[in-house]
C-alpha cells in the first residue's frame, strides 16, 4: 500500500527542508500548492522531495484554498505537467478539459470532493469519472453518520469488484466519522492512502499519520477477513484499534479493528445485529464484534439478545458478539478493573472503594467491586442519579466529602481527561496511600493523576485498565489467547510488555 503524506506548512519552518524529510512510513508526498501561500515555489518542493510527488491545487469549491478560475487552473496544471511530479491532481468538475490535452492520462488523478456530505447520486457521479482515461480516480465525501459510511464503503467495494482488476479508485470519507473509510478504502479500492504530515498537521479532519496507518492496517493485504470496531462518540482518540491490531499482527489474524463514530442512539440498530445481518455484513465485510464505549454501553446492552450474568447485573456491555440468530453481550471492563486493583496489592474483601460516575462504566466498576467483596461508594455529579444507581445495584451513594477511609477510587467518567478542573474529583477525601484508578486516558496527565501526585495516592492509568479488559475482549472475539505483551507495547506500557 502506498501512503501519501500531504504536506501542510508549519509557520516559521522552511518548506523545502521539511519536504526533503518526509514522515517515516510515507512512500509518496502530496504538495498542496493551494496551502503554500501566494508566491510560494511549489516546483522547488517537488524538486526537493526524495519521494514521488503528487501536485494538487485544491479549489475553494472542493474544500481547498485554490482558484476556481479555469484560466488560472489551466496555467497551473500546465506547469505541473512539466514538473517532475509523478502525478497531478485534476478536479473532475473543473479540469476535465485538461485531461490528456495538458496532463497525460497516465499521470492524472481525476478527483471529486463532496464537502457538504454524501450525495444521493454518489455512485453515478463517480462512474462518470471512471469512464475517463486516467491513472486514478479519487472520490472523497464528508461523512457524518453510519449511512454515509455505508455509501462510501459501498463505492469502494464496487471499485474492488470492478475495473477488470485495475484498482483505480481512491475512495474515502473525511471527518471523524470517516476514519473507518480511510482504513477500508485502500484495502478495497486503490491501495493508496492519504495521510497527515504529523499529529497536528492534518490536511483534513480524520487523517491518520503514516505511522498510525501502518500500525492499523500494515498487517493486511487486501480486504480483512473480519471487521471489528470500537463504537462510541469521540472514538478517533481511542487506543483500542492500535491495541487489537497489534494483537492481530502478533498471532497472524487478517482482521481489521476500526473506530466507528456513532452520534445518535438509533444508529446502533444497524450494528448490534446477529451475525450476517449487520450494516457491514451487508456490504460484504463480515462483522466479528464491537467494543462499546461511552455513551452507548447501556443502550447496547438493551439491544443484545443474551447477556453474560455480570453484564446483565451491570446493565452495560462493552463487548458485543454477533452470532447466528442472536447477539451476545459481555462486560470485560469488570476484568480490567478487578485486575488492576488486585495488582495494586489491595485486599478488596470488605474494603470501601469509591466509584465516580453513574453511567455504564460506573455500573461495571460497581459490579466488579461487589463481585470482589468490596463495598462500593457511588459519587456522581447528580446526586439523584447516584442514589438510583446505587439502590439498583445494592451499593451506597455518598457525597465526595464522605469518602474518607476508602482505600481506592475508580473514576468512571470523562472528568479531568485532559487535566481540566473537576469539583467532583477534587472533593474526594481519600487518605494517603489510596489507589486511584482512571478509566480515561489522554496525551496529557489526567486530573486524577495530578491529584494522586499531590495527595500521595498510588495512580493506575486508563491504559492499564484498557489492556486487561482488552485482553479478555480479544479472547472472546477471536477465540485465541491474547498476546498480552504485543498489546501492552501498542499502548506504551513497556513495563508490562517486558
Residues marked active site are found at 297
Bridge partner residues of 234 (DSSP): none
Cβ atoms < 10 Å from Cβ of 191: 15
Closest CA to 299 of 274, 320, 275, 281: 320
Length of the chain: 498
Bridge partner residues of 436 (DSSP): 409, 459
Cβ neighbours for 423, distance < 8 A, ≥ 6 positions apart: 400
Closest CA to 48 of 10, 20, 81: 20
Let me know if 124 is exposed, middle or buried by CB neighbors in 10 A (0-12, 13-18, 19+): exposed
Closest CA to 233 of 145, 101, 333: 145
- In the Cβ-directed half-sphere of 213, how many Cα atoms lie within 13 Å? 32
Cβ neighbours for 213, distance < 8 A, ≥ 6 positions apart: 3, 25, 182, 183, 193, 195
Contact 410, 351 (CB under 8 A): no
Cell of 251: 498471532
Cβ neighbours for 384, distance < 8 A, ≥ 6 positions apart: none
Phi/psi of residue 218, each to 5°? -65, -20
Contact 459, 445 (CB under 8 A): no
Alpha helices (runs of H) in 29-91, residue ranges in sequence order: 42-48, 70-82
Tell me the torsion sign for CA atoms 39, 140, 129, 166: positive
Contact 271, 292 (CB under 8 A): no
What H or E segment, with its residue span, contains residue 113? strand 108-114
Contact 105, 99 (CB under 8 A): yes
Cα 407 to Cα 404, 437, 465: the distances in Å are: 9, 11, 18
Angle between helices 462-478 and 333-343 (to 10 degrees): 130
Distance between CA atoms of residues 498 and 488, nearest Å: 9
Look up cell 479478555; give the residue.
472
Distance between CA atoms of residues 311 and 303, nearest Å: 13
Amino acid at each position: 500500500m502506498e501512503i501519501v503524506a500531504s504536506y501542510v506548512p508549519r509557520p516559521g519552518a522552511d518548506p523545502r527542508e521539511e519536504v526533503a524529510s518526509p514522515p517515516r512510513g510515507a512512500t509518496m508526498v502530496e504538495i498542496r500548492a493551494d496551502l503554500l501561500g501566494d508566491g510560494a515555489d511549489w516546483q522547488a518542493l517537488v524538486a526537493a522531495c526524495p519521494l514521488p510527488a503528487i501536485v494538487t491545487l485544491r479549489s475553494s469549491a472542493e474544500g481547498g484554498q485554490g482558484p476556481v478560475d479555469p484560466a488560472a487552473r489551466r496555467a497551473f496544471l500546465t506547469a505541473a505537467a512539466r514538473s517532475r511530479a509523478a502525478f497531478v491532481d485534476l478536479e473532475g468538475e473543473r479540469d476535465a478539459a485538461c485531461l490528456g490535452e495538458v496532463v497525460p492520462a497516465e499521470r492524472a488523478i481525476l478527483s471529486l470532493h463532496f464537502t457538504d456530505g454524501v450525495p444521493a447520486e454518489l455512485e453515478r457521479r463517480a462512474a462518470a469519472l471512471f469512464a475517463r482515461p486516467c491513472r486514478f480516480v479519487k472520490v472523497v465525501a464528508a461523512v457524518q453518520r453510519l449511512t454515509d459510511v455505508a455509501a462510501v464503503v459501498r463505492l469502494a467495494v464496487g471499485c474492488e469488484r470492478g475495473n477488470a482488476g485495475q484498482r483505480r479508485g481512491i475512495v474515502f470519507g473525511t471527518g471523524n466519522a470517516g476514519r473507518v473509510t480511510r482504513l477500508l478504502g485502500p484495502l478495497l479500492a486503490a491501495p493508496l492512502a492519504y495521510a497527515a504530515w504529523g499529529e497536528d498537521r492534518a490536511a483534513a479532519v480524520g487523517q491518520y499519520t503514516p505511522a498510525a496507518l501502518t500500525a492499523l492496517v500494515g498487517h493486511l493485504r487486501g480486504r480483512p477477513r473480519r471487521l471489528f470496531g470500537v463504537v462510541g462518540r469521540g472514538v478517533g482518540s481511542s487506543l483500542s484499534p492500535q491495541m487489537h491490531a497489534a494483537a492481530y499482527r502478533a498471532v497472524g489474524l487478517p482482521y481489521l479493528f476500526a473506530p466507528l463514530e456513532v452520534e445518535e442512539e438509533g444508529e446502533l440498530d444497524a450494528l448490534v445485529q446477529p451475525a450476517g445481518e449487520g450494516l457491514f455484513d451487508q456490504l460484504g465485510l463480515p462483522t466479528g464484534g464491537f467494543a462499546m464505549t461511552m455513551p452507548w454501553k447501556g443502550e447496547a446492552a438493551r439491544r443484545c439478545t443474551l447477556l453474560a450474568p455480570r453484564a446483565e447485573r451491570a446493565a452495560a456491555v462493552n463487548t458485543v458478539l454477533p452470532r447466528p440468530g442472536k447477539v451476545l453481550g459481555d462486560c470485560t471492563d469488570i476484568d480490567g478493573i478487578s485486575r488492576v486493583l488486585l495488582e495494586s496489592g489491595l485486599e478488596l474483601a470488605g474494603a470501601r472503594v469509591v466509584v465516580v460516575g453513574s453511567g455504564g462504566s460506573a455500573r461495571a466498576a460497581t459490579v466488579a467491586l461487589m463481585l470482589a467483596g468490596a463495598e462500593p461508594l457511588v459519587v456522581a455529579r447528580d446526586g439523584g442519579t447516584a442514589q438510583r444507581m446505587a439502590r439498583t445495584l445494592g451499593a451506597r451513594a455518598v457525597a465526595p466529602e464522605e469518602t474518607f477511609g476508602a482505600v481506592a477510587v475508580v473514576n468512571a467518567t470523562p472528568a479531568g481527561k485532559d487535566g481540566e478542573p473537576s469539583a467532583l474529583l477534587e472533593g474526594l477525601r481519600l487518605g494517603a496511600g489510596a489507589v486511584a484508578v482512571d478509566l480515561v486516558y489522554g496525551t496529557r496527565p489526567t486530573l486524577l493523576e495530578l491529584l494522586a501526585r499531590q495527595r500521595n495516592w498510588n495512580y493506575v492509568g486508563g491504559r492499564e485498565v484498557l489492556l486487561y479488559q482488552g485482553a479478555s475482549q480479544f479472547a472472546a472475539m477471536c477465540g485465541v489467547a491474547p498476546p498480552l505483551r504485543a498489546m501492552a507495547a501498542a499502548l506504551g506500557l513497556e513495563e508490562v510488555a517486558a
